[in-house]
Amino acid sequence: MSNSTRTTILAGPELLPEARAALKGATQHYGEAFRRFNAETVIEMLADDVVYESQALLEPITGKHAVAEYLRKRYRFFAENMGDQIEIIPAEIGLPKAAKHPCLILARGEERDALLVLTLDGTEKVRRIDLLFAAPRPEEARVMVKTSARARQ
């Protein structure tokens, strides 16, 4: 897939209150599992046709099985190599077209490295996971709750 045909990864227009609440809950649940490097909890949240797309990958990963294998490897890598360095911060995207869209900021110290944005299907399963390094920039997210994400139990 060439860069010219890639989908622009941005959250859609402002969500209805019910949809926002469901997405916020799923995002927080995902964040808690990520903090503990618990891939299995995240995998339970995935739709069968889930797509994982990252600005660091050449091609999206599609399907629950493929995404599950990728997440297991990534979480194992993070746990072994970056353990206490990663902080997961609940936030909202602060751009007009994505106002109040829940997301997670992945940070190391004061550096905001990436945003993680979920999309749910009609059954509140995760249909898309988008990891964004460049657009929107992590500093364009508003922190919802300042917490210490270092507790992993």
pLDDT, mean over the chain = 78
Q: What average pLDDT score do residues 23-33 get?
A: 91
pLDDT on residue 139: 58
Can you list the domains of the chain with their CATH numbers? 16-143 (3.10.450.50)
User: Residue 67 corresponds to which tokens in the numbers above?
Assistant: 């995404």
What confidence tens digit (pLDDT) does each residue in 66-75 have? 999 999 999 9
What confidence tens digit (pLDDT) does each residue in 83-140 have? 777 788 888 776 655 567 788 888 877 777 888 888 899 888 999 999 887 655 555 5
Residue of 116, 108, 110, 118 lying closest to 133 (CA atoms): 116
Residues forming beta bridges with residue 87, ordered by sequence position: 107
Q: For 11-20, 31-40, 93-102, which range has the lowest pLDDT when averaged over its residues? A: 93-102
pTM higher than 0.85: no
Q: Angle CA(64)–CA(65)–CA(70) in degrees, nearest 5?
A: 95
Q: How confident is the model at residue 15 (pLDDT cuts 50, 70, 90)?
A: confident
